[in-house]
Structure 1
Amino acid sequence: MSAPAKILFVDRDGTLIEEPADEQIDGYEKFRLLPGAIGALRRLVDAGYELVMVTNQDGLGTPAFPEEAFAGPQRLLLEILAGEGIVFREVLVDRSFAHEHAPTRKPGLGLVRHYLGHGVLDRARSAVIGDRDSDLEFARNIGVRGLRIGADAGWAAIATTLLDAPRRARIERTTRETRIAVEVDLDDAARPAVHSGIGFLDHMIEQLGVHGGFALRLRCDGDLGVDEHHTVEDCALALGQALREALGERRGIGRYGHAPEGLPLQRALGFVVPMDDALAHAALDLSGRPYFVFEGAFPAERVGALPSALVPHFFRSLADALGANLHLAVRGDDAHHMVEACFKVVGRALRQAIRRDGGVAVPSSKGVLAGAAA
């Protein structure tokens, strides 16, 4: 089954073409593209948006607005945009007058009902772009964001707003063993707040947020009266799912967690974090393909209330839910230092992998990363 579509529903007159005083573009002499439209649309298409034109054309096909008067400028518009790689998935035109209250006329949904079925439209990332209050109402009716072109918001500002949208996610996960709520914001470095019922695990998950450079809130109510396994595993799964959803299609990210320059060659494939006697090494790829490799042995069965054996299991569950390839190795004499070094080094690798690089492309030769949230 294909992923929900990320669509921009774009108005025409006053949004793509300057609207004349008589509000009717019925000749080539009235045809003027809105400044910045081509460059902005090109950026948005490159970022994976699909375009659907939705326009009200009052009385189109009547003697006052003959079909041929509309067709020429419309064809010119589509040809100019297509020449720049901007192609519309669909062009939807309503021909009614406002007084007729036709269900197909914006802000009515008659023309776009085929996009409103379950799983068809990615409402969180789709939007309506127009120049009137009716376009904003149209957006509310669809259940997507509405952006208005005007004196204070030209096409460049609209594109920047869409491309720099905060990468946030909230996950609630309930099973017979645990009830978890997780919130992440990848573009905010607020202090993490974690409560799992296992004090040392709280401290470790906080290290992921602090060293990963992202805001994190997690609360888990688990069956600790049974044992710690379900709480540790489900916290990792919920956190991985939240990170995956916040990353979306993973466009414009670093993807890999690399080591800083200057490290010895044998350590150049990932981050290395020392902590007194302990040394942890992590290499991370946000490929969308989950895989986990661990090397190391902890010299104590527990660190606080956290069983050491569950530390690799935490990272395996995190990698599975996030869709990440994670290699983690640790050595040392003190189990506390070793575990803490593991969480810190994975956080440092995450920091670089999730960082935006200023582009909008998916960092893959395939053009898509397997398992990425659409």
Structure 2
Amino acid sequence: MSAGAKILFVDRDGTLIEEPADQQIDAYEKFRLVPGAIAALRRCVEAGYELVMVSNQDGLGTPSFPEETFSGPQQLLLDILAGEGVRFREILIDRSLPAENAPTRKPGTGLVRHWLASDALDRARSAVIGDRETDLEFARNLGLRGFRLGAQCTWPDIAHALLAAPRRAQIARATRETRIEVEVDLDRATRPAVATGLGFLDHMIEQLGVHGGFALALRCSGDLHIDEHHTVEDSALALGQALREALGDRRGIGRYGFLLPMDESLAQVALDLSGRAHFTFDGRFPREQVGALPTELVPHFFRSLADALGATLHLSVRGDNAHHMVEACFKAVGRSLRDALRRDGDTVPSSKGTLA
């Protein structure tokens, strides 16, 4: 699930340690680290990934591969990695021989069955890293992305692919009053597709995608025969939830965003994607309604958006034309989102190390 942990299931021999000709690392003389592994893993750990080692060790514990010949090089590997800030949440070793066809042997998933039965795994962002086709098959069996280390795929390549993962979310929200579907992609800009049954609201939500620089599709079927309130509020909540999910742990974002004039109107925005919800509005609209949208619901839309997104949003507007004023608000928030959502590195933009 998107709210779960980002896990990298990492092979050992040929992935972390260079694999010798006899395919068995049973002596210190055979110990060689794979180039680039430590630096790439450290970047991934700093980006919020947790590591699980999953390794087939043929016949470990038998006379042909005594436990003591394995444990020394294994502990050396763990000590070296720990010294660089790279630690494993779990170490899962299968000791069976290939002929046994054990369900715990990769590409079988027996060793990680507890992950498959758990809702703590973020499937969209987790991955398998190995050096064999069986590692890719293991990834497919888990329903995860797989990376096969080799001449065409190095550790730096893998780290870049993981840290530049697409930030997308799809939300379906259904209540007695509304049914809403929202899709966002923060790293792709396309023409927004919005249909709420309120033409002016559609036009305004489109401004968030256009000026925010992200792909946005929102469809809402609401109880407009009663009034506009639920459609406006729930559209904002669903959109905020989608943006929050797409942001993940908010690592690497610009975080802050500011401003926008429109003709005689001026909207001023201060935005912080802090993970904490707060909204302040200052302004008075000269008309009670623009199109089918009551202007009293404009600040309510942004309050709901800030609540669901987990953002601090201060919005003020002044002007003479209500249409211009409302549009300036949506455009200004969109431009602020563009700055705040943009990638700006690999770290969480907070001295605490987390945004929540």
- Return the TM-score normalized by structure 2: 0.97
C-alpha separation in 1, matches of 2:256 and 2:289: 31
**Equivalent-residue separation in structure 1 for 2:254 and 2:60 (angstroms):** 49
Aligned equivalents of 2:340, 2:117: Cα separation in 1: 34
What is aligned with 2:152? 152
In 1: Cα distance, 2:289 partner to 2:97 partner: 73
Q: How does 1:224-239 map to 2 (within 5 A)?
A: 224-239=224-239
Deviation at 1:185, TM superposition (A): 0.6
Number of aligned residues: 354
2: CA distance, partners of 1:169 / 1:225: 30
Following superposition, the deviation at residue 363 of structure 1 comes to 1.4
TM-aligned CA deviation for residue 356 of structure 1: 0.8
Query: Of residues 279, 296, 301 in structure 2, which corresponds to 1:314?
Result: 301
Q: Give the match for residue 361 of structure 1.
A: 347
Q: Give the equivalent residue in structure 1 for 2:73.
A: 73
TM-score (norm 1): 0.92
Instruction: Read off the aligned partner of 1:287 and give its amino acid letter.
Output: S
- Structure 1, residues 179-210: CA drift from partner, whole Å, max 9, x if none? 11111110111111111111111111111111
- Output aligned runs, 1:252-267, within 5 Å: 252-257=252-257
Distance in structure 2 (CA, Å) of the matches to 1:197 and 1:254: 34
1:68-123: CA deviations, max 9, x gaps? 22122112211111111111112111110011122221122222223233322222
CA distance in 1 between counterparts of 2:163 and 2:120 reads 21
Higher mean displacement: 99-108 or 236-245: 99-108
- Deviation, 1:10, is 0.3
Partner Cα separation in structure 2 for residue 300 and residue 83 of structure 1: 65
- For residues 116 and 298 of structure 2, the distance between their equivalents in structure 1, rounded to whole angstroms, comes to 43
For the 8 Å contact 2:94–2:104, the answer to whether it is kept is: yes
Q: Hey, what does 1:261 align to over in structure 2?
A: none
In structure 1, what is the Cα distance between the partners aligned to 2:122 and 2:112? 14
Letter in 1 for 2:269: A
Name the SS of the counterpart of 2:216 in structure 1.
strand
Question: Of residues 276, 293, 308 in structure 2, which corresponds to 1:289?
Answer: 276
For 1:97 and 1:68, the matched residues in 2 are separated by 18
The offset of 1:4, in angstroms, is 2.4
The amino acid across from 1:355 in the alignment is R
Deviation at 1:218, TM superposition (A): 1.0
Q: Tell me if the contact between 2:274 and 2:312 (Cα under 8 Å) persists in the aligned partners.
A: yes
Q: Structure 1: give runs of 5+ residues left out of the alignment.
A: 258-269
Distance in structure 2 (CA, Å) of the matches to 1:82 and 1:347: 43
Q: Deviations along 1:226-284, whole A, 9 cap, x unmatched?
A: 11111111111111011000000000111111xxxxxxxxxxxx32x111111111101
Q: 136-145 or 121-130: which moved more?
A: 136-145
Structure 2 counterpart of 1:95: 95
One-letter code aligned to 1:92 = L
For the 8 Å contact 2:125–2:165, the answer to whether it is kept is no
In 2, the alpha carbon distance for the partners of 1:247 and 1:226 equals: 34
Write the mapping of 1:174-253 to structure 2, written as runs, cut at 5 A. 174-253=174-253
Q: How far 1:7 moved relative to its partner?
A: 1.1
Name the SS of the counterpart of 1:170 in structure 2. strand
Residues 1:304 and 2:297 aligned together: no
**One-letter amino acid of the structure 2 residue matched with residue 149 of structure 1:** L
2: CA distance between counterparts of 1:125 and 1:226?
41
2:39 is paired with a residue of what secondary structure? helix
Within 2, Cα distance between the matches of 1:172 and 1:149?
A: 37
What is the RMSD of the two structures over their aligned residues, measured on CA atoms?
Answer: 1.2
Residue identity matched to 2:344: D
Partners of 1:77 and 1:41 in 2: CA distance = 13
Taking the aligned partners of 2:200 and 2:150, their CA distance within structure 1 comes to 53
CA distance in 1, matches of 2:255, 2:120: 28
Structure 2 portions without partners, runs of 5+: none
- Alignment correspondent of 2:334: 347
Q: Which runs of 4+ in 1 moved over 4 A?
A: none
Letter in 2 for 1:240: G
- What displacement does 1:328 show? 0.4
Q: What is the CA-CA distance between 1:327 and the residue it aligns to? A: 0.5
How far did 1:29 drift? 2.0
Structure 2: distance between partners of 1:203 and 1:122: 34
Q: Please state whether the residue corresponding to 1:320 is helix, strand or coil.
A: helix
Residue 365 of structure 1 and its aligned partner are, at CA, apart by 2.0
After superposing the two structures, state which structure 1 stretch, 101-110 or 90-99, moved more.
Answer: 101-110
Amino acid at match of 2:351: S
Aligned partner of 1:266 in structure 2 is none
Tell me which residue corresponds to 1:260: none
Q: Secondary structure at the match of 1:72?
A: helix
Alpha-carbon distance in structure 2 between the residues aligned to 1:255 and 1:230: 29
